[in-house]
Amino acid sequence: MQATSAAVNVRSMATRTLTLSLPDTDATQDLARRLAPVLAAGDCLLLTGPIGAGKTFLARAVIQARQAALGMAEDVPSPTYTLVQTYEAGGVEIWHADLYRLTDPAEVIELGLDEAFDTGISLIEWPDRLGDLAPPGALRLELSVTGDTARRLDITGDATWHARLAPMLATLDA
Ligand SMILES: Nc1ncnc2c1ncn2[C@@H]1O[C@H](COP(=O)(O)OP(=O)(O)O)[C@@H](O)[C@H]1O
Ligand SMILES: [Mg+2]
């Protein structure tokens, strides 16, 4: 009995990666539009990939899709210099961070990001700067440049994430 439930727990914590191909910016925008309504308070997306891969583009599209659904529209500047930009989106705060210039993970707490991980929707570029402070239940989105406008997106998350994303992913080829 004990062994069975332990095995189930291990399996439910296992992460899996799903790979999508995004041939152009429209495809990235489309994915963001489908991903945005799935997100809820306490969710964290870790956006990785080299400079110019499209991390900000994807985050911006998610934020604008959430706002559009609420009849709102706001500029979404890159948080390159401010490190963090926050957006009110219908009772939940979206935190968009670019941690490239972060030198000490302690700054994560100064910025209030640890609290945002619990209460808001966090979209984090350069999440390796978080060190141990990265939320364990985060969804990892890794962008790779495969062509002029083509990107590969590797989505890595636990079974809970995959279950939540499945309906959205099933509509992608439709
Ligand atoms: N399929 C695509 N998905 C996302 N961005 C793309 C794509 N194709 C071209 N781009 C361009 O690549 C650039 C990505 O820039 P940005 O999002 O600032 O990158 P990062 O934040 O990863 O450094 C943008 O100019 C965007 O228009
Ligand atoms: Mg960026």
In tens, the pLDDT along 80-99 reads 999 999 999 888 999 999 99
Nearest CA to ligand 1 atom 11: 54
Q: Find the 5 Cα to ligand 1 centroid distance in Å.
A: 44
Domains of the chain plus CATH, in order, are: 17-164 (3.40.50.300)
Q: Kindly report the backbone phi and psi dihedral angles of residue 142, in degrees, each rounded to the nearest multiple of 5, phi listed first.
A: -110, 120
Give the Cα-Cα-Cα angle 39, 108, 121 (nearest 5 degrees). 10
Q: How many CB atoms lie within 10 A of CB 174?
A: 4
Taking 80 as the threshold, does the pLDDT of residue 139 lie above it? yes
pTM metric for this prediction: 0.92
Alpha carbon distance 95, 127 (integer Å) = 13
| Ligand 1 cavity residues, CB under 6 Å | 22, 24-25, 27-28, 49, 51-57, 125, 149, 151
Give the Cα-Cα-Cα angle 169, 121, 152 (nearest 5 degrees). 40
Q: For residue 8, name the pLDDT band (cuts at 50, 70, 90).
A: very low
Atom of ligand 1 nearest to the CA of 26: 1
Q: Find the 100 Cα to ligand 1 centroid distance in Å.
A: 16
Q: How far are the Cα atoms of 47, 70, 119, 165 from residue 141, in angstroms, in the given order?
A: 5, 25, 20, 13
Atom of ligand 1 nearest to the CA of 150: 1
Nearest CA to ligand 1 atom 2: 25
In tens, the pLDDT along 90-128 reads 889 999 999 999 988 899 999 999 999 999 999 999 999
Q: For residue 14, name the pLDDT band (cuts at 50, 70, 90).
A: confident
